[in-house]
Structure 1
């Protein structure tokens, strides 16, 4: 199981990533050993998470979200889709 996550950084930007172990990945970001982007824009808050069955589906979803406009990402964060509807 993978987790797709979105972080809101101090400049109000949104960072999208995936992790097999979300807590471990967040610790890496906090320690400054995660992505360069988050390191430069810390502190951050987790504003969205989504479970994915495998790395392939998580990567595809990550790419789809990264292609979204900031407005669409904000809508996703505010009103996440319900599963199974």
Structure 2
């Protein structure tokens, strides 16, 4: 289940999920609780329908969709070993 410290619904966030197969899935949303529930229910992304999430590894808030989308692109370019560190405070 998403972290209680997750960003509020009036902003956007980048999130990282751990899937049942051990893979990590990144995405953006403005409602983390609802988006996570959709992934778990099999109505989220195509990837998570086949590989359901087991937990939210990390999330970070952004002021708007554009900023969250840019951060998602940066995160997806990183090697797995550096993805969690991306969420650490500066």
Q: Into which bin does the TM-score normalised by the smaller protein fall?
A: 0.7 to 0.9
Are 1:81 and 2:76 an aligned pair? no
**Distance in 2 between residues matched to 1:76 and 1:40, nearest whole Å:** 27
Residues 7-34 of structure 1: CA deviation (Å, up to 9, x unaligned): 0111211100000111111111111110
Query: Mind listing any 5+ residue stretches in structure 1 that lack a counterpart?
Result: none
Coordinate RMSD, CA, aligned:
1.5
Q: Which contiguous aligned blocks of 4+ residues in structure 1 show a shift greater than 2 angstroms?
A: none
What is aligned with 2:7? none
**Distance in 1 between residues matched to 2:57 and 2:85, nearest whole Å:** 10
Q: How many residues align?
A: 80
TM-score of the superposed pair, with normalisation by structure 1:
0.85
Alignment of 1:1-85 (within 5 A): 1-73=11-83, 75-76=84-85, 80-83=87-90
Query: Mind listing any 5+ residue stretches in structure 2 that lack a counterpart?
Result: 1-10
